Amino acid sequence: MKSPPALPCLFLPAWCSARLSDDLPVTWSDGQQTARLPLGDALARLKGRAIALIVPVEQVASCALSLPAGNAHWQRKALPYAVEPLLAEDVEDMHLALGETLDDGRRRVVAINRSLLGSWLQGVRDRGALVSAIHVDADLLPNEVPTLCWNNTRCLLAGTDALRLALAPTQLPELLERLPGNLRILHASEDSPTLPPTIDANLQALDMALPAWLATQRPRALDLAQGDFAPASRLQLRHWKPVAWAMAAVLVAQLAFDGAQAWLLQQQASGYRQVNESIYRRLFPDEQRIVNLKAQFDQHLQQGSAASQLQALLSRVAEAMPVESPLQVQGLQFHAGKGELQLQLQGEASAFEALQQRLRAQPLRLEATRRDDGGMQLEVGEAQ
């Protein structure tokens, strides 16, 4: 299955000035197709598509620095002070891009003149191009081992650290002899590198044009589109960060307020519960254990109401029954649920009838029956 084309890369020439013209010869490639044509024609062909702008390594300074440990924010703050002694230009005029961390803990840094890069970006954007990434051409080379991209007029070199250079073929012998370890040389199949016999190198011929191969290596390269030069979508996201932080701060404050309010209410509830338990224990000193204060208090209220009902019914019956009554009480039951007093009596029938008449004269609910053993039973309750 054929892989999809890479992001189109627009290669600016090494001698490119800040002001771009329509007839400037450039190279573009998407990893499959490659063309060298004037800038105006190339951007007309790429109009409406996102591209990666590839700048020449001659216009950048590449180095590796030891930065303070911590988050990216503090490293970004310390970066200008750390890189300033290594630059020939004023650090305030430079755009600094942070790269990957090397094996020894240092961070790769690429510096380029801010106004130069801004002029290039403005030039391609004015012609309808959408720049989503910015790379240095020598940084497109793999760097697991020192790698040289051979060209008969201009060679690119990438070392395992921060070394990124462009050289003429005549400059190579002296430099290559100083490189440690084995050297890998990439070249187009139609080019034959001419190297001194003392150079130990691994030659690797590519089955495609060099710009096309470099375009496929773009994902591994450092992206200079950082900070003020980030694409619009990333800039918009960065502009929303203060709002997001503000909203997060408001949320944290609200959660803290809610937590404090919940704690305060809990403390108040605990205080009320202690006061209620103290009152309950004073009212019912015989109660040994409090499990459910409300349920136990309701139970006591119900018991108090039943006792009052019993006392009232007994008073009514006692008032209706003469002191020297021939009736004797043999049994007494009180049904609290019904509010009903049940009496079992023994004695003369006439006395029982007289008692019924006196009770019926009161606002009571009365039911009288005779038992099989000759006794009598009264059921007395408050009238509905």
* Amino acid identity for residue 368 in this structure: A
- From 191, 207, 230, give the residue that closes a domain: 230
Per-residue model confidence (pLDDT) at position 242: 72
Residue 4 lies in a domain: no
Residues of the chain with pLDDT under 50: 1-2, 235-237
Per-residue model confidence (pLDDT) at position 375: 76
Report the sign of the C-alpha dihedral through residues 35, 129, 96, 118, in that order. positive
- From 196, 230, 264, give the residue that closes a domain: 230
The set of residues, in sequence order, having a beta carbon less than 8 Å from that of 161 and lying 6+ positions away, is: 64, 102, 106
* pTM (2 d.p.): 0.60
Classify residue 334 as exposed, middle or buried by CB count within 10 Å of its CB (0-12, 13-18, 19+): middle
Confirm if 124 and 21 have CB atoms less than 8 A apart: no
Whether 225 and 366 map to the same domain: the answer is: no
Per-residue model confidence (pLDDT) at position 237: 45
Burial 205-234 (b: 16+ CB within 10 A, else e): ebebbbbbbbbbbbeebbbbbbeebbbeee
Whether 51 and 176 map to the same domain: the answer is: yes
pLDDT in tens, 91-104: 999 999 998 888 88
pLDDT in tens, 47-59: 778 899 999 999 9
Residue 76 lies in a domain: yes
Whether 240 and 324 map to the same domain: the answer is: no
Whether 56 and 189 map to the same domain: the answer is: yes
- From 186, 203, 230, give the residue that closes a domain: 230
**Residue 121: domain span:** 9-230
pLDDT in tens, 224-280: 999 888 886 554 445 556 777 778 888 888 888 888 888 877 877 777 677 666 665
Whether 225 and 250 map to the same domain: the answer is: no
Q: How many domains does the chain have?
A: 3
